[in-house]
């Protein structure tokens, strides 16, 4: 018998972000992605969650969805099928299982509601299982949690736990009256309750910030441990969004985990884009897909689809998926 997890609509509303996946059925194995089902229709049974070989694709893929029910058996069956196919093994007992929960430590202002993520790693496949994970709070008077959405009720500290397939991870929540930002000599610092300046990554009200070695809040393009990030003028890390580099004029995409995307296909609504290994969005150029397939990206970065285009005096025809039907120009 299939298991269903029903949820009733509560009287409060917590926001959920829009997922922009790096998944198209044209991408190769090295680009590592899977086409995801559209689970956005309320009141229906969810049979598939967001999965990918790239962890950057599955962040913000959950979000509170209390009107829907979840066919957990069907979901987990598909997860295992993807894991087996990706890892090349022939049985489930040969698959390693890991649960990644982020953030692990967060400051929240009173009455704020923010998201936590539960990502299940199985056979090289990441799946956002936030909506079917068991979430609990040690002290719900301070902060309660539903499907990974945490709401701060009272000043104090508590731990939120996420349990999935026997694996439990914990998040420390510090509910405060107001974020302790201080400005000095044109720089901003985040100061804890003891007056000490914070350094490194810090999650405040659901946004990620990076504080330098001297505690000053960093902004703009930053290379941190060999990975590029973009921090807005507010200090908040760019997540699931495009950023234009003023120096080279190129557009770059930052995954929901904040890392700059590289060598992947990005599906944004009805449009598909391609990101080179240096992070730049492809524009006015050809990109080779899987096998002998070729795709062309216009000046605005969108993949040409279902149309004919003259390129250097030659007419090329593209199907609805963007694949060029006459790559030799014949």
The CATH 2.10.270.10 domain(s) of the chain lie at: 263-329
Per-residue model confidence (pLDDT) at position 43:
58
CATH code matching the domain that covers 72-176, chosen among 1.10.246.90, 3.40.50.880, 2.60.40.1080, 3.40.350.10: 2.60.40.1080
Q: Which two tokens stand for residue 171?
A: 């998040």
What's the rounded Cα separation, in Å, for the pair 165 and 121? Answer: 11
DSSP of 244-304, one letter per residue? E-TTT--EEEE-TTSPBP-SEEEEETTEEEEE-TTSBBP-SEEEE-STT-EEEE-TTSPBP
Q: Which of 163, 149, 194, 189 is nearest to 12 (CA)?
A: 149
Q: What are phi and psi of 58, to 5 degrees?
A: -100, -10
Residue 6: count of CB within 10 angstroms of its CB: 10
Per-residue confidence in pLDDT tens, the chain, 330 aa: 334 444 333 322 222 222 323 333 333 333 333 333 344 445 579 999 999 998 988 988 767 888 789 999 999 999 999 999 999 998 998 999 999 999 999 999 998 899 999 999 999 999 999 999 999 999 999 999 999 999 999 999 999 999 999 999 999 999 999 999 999 999 999 998 788 999 999 999 999 999 999 999 999 999 999 999 999 999 999 999 999 999 999 999 999 999 999 999 998 888 999 999 999 999 999 999 989 999 999 999 999 999 999 999 999 999 999 999 999 887
The DSSP bridge pattern shows strands 69-71 and 113-115 to be unpaired
Query: In 3-state terms, what secondary structure has residue 311?
Result: strand
C-alpha distance across the termini of the chain, in Å: 56
What's the rounded Cα separation, in Å, for the pair 330 and 317? Answer: 10
Per-residue model confidence (pLDDT) at position 195:
84
CB 156 within 8 A of CB 142: yes
**Helix, strand, coil percent content, the chain, rounded in steps of 5:** 5, 40, 50
User: Which residue do the tokens 């692990």 mark?
Assistant: 104
Q: Which two tokens stand for residue 207?
A: 């946004």
pTM above 0.85? no
Q: Which of 166, 167, 113 is nearest to 144 (CA)?
A: 113
The CATH 2.60.40.1080 domain(s) of the chain lie at: 72-176
The highest-level CATH class for domain 263-329 is mainly beta
Region class of 111: left (phi > 0), else alpha (psi between -120 and 50), else beta: left
Specify the length of the chain in residues. Answer: 330
Query: In 3-state terms, what secondary structure has residue 76?
Result: helix
Q: Which of 40, 50, 46 is nearest to 74 (CA)?
A: 46
């Amino acid at each position: 018998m299939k298991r269903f997890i029903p949820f009733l609509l509560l009287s409060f509303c917590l926001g959920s972000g829009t997922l922009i996946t790096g998944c198209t059925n044209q991408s190769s194995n090295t680009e590592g992605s899977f086409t995801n089902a559209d689970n956005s229709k309320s009141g229906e049974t969810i049979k598939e969650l967001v999965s990918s070989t790239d962890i950057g694709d599955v962040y913000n893929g959950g979000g509170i969805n209390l009107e829907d029910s979840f066919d957990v058996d069907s979901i987990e069956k598909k997860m295992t099928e993807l894991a087996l196919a990706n890892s090349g093994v022939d049985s489930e007992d040969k698959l390693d299982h890991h649960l990644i929960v982020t953030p692990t430590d967060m400051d929240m202002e009173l009455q704020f509601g923010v998201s936590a993520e539960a990502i299940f790693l199985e056979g090289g496949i990441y799946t956002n299982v936030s909506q079917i994970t068991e979430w609990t709070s040690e002290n719900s008077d301070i902060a309660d949690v539903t499907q990974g959405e945490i709401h701060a009720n009272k000043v104090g500290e508590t731990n939120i736990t996420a349990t999935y397939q026997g694996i439990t991870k914990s998040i420390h929540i510090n509910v405060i009256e107001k974020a302790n930002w201080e400005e000095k000599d044109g720089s901003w610092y985040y100061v804890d309750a003891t007056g000490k300046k914070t350094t490194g990554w810090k999650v405040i009200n659901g946004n990620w910030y990076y504080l330098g070695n001297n505690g000053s809040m960093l902004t703009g393009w930053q290379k941190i441990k060999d990975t590029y990030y973009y921090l807005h003028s507010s200090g908040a890390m760019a997540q699931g969004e495009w950023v234009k580099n003023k120096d080279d004029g190129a557009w770059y995409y930052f995954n929901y985990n904040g890392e700059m995307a590289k060598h992947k296909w990005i599906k944004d609504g009805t449009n598909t884009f391609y990101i080179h290994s240096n992070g730049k969005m492809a524009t006015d150029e050809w990109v080779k897909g899987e096998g002998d397939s070729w795709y062309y990206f216009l000046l605005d970065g969108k993949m040409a689809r279902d149309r004919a285009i003259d390129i250097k005096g030659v007419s090329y025809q593209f199907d609805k998926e963007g694949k060029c039907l006459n790559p030799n120009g014949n």
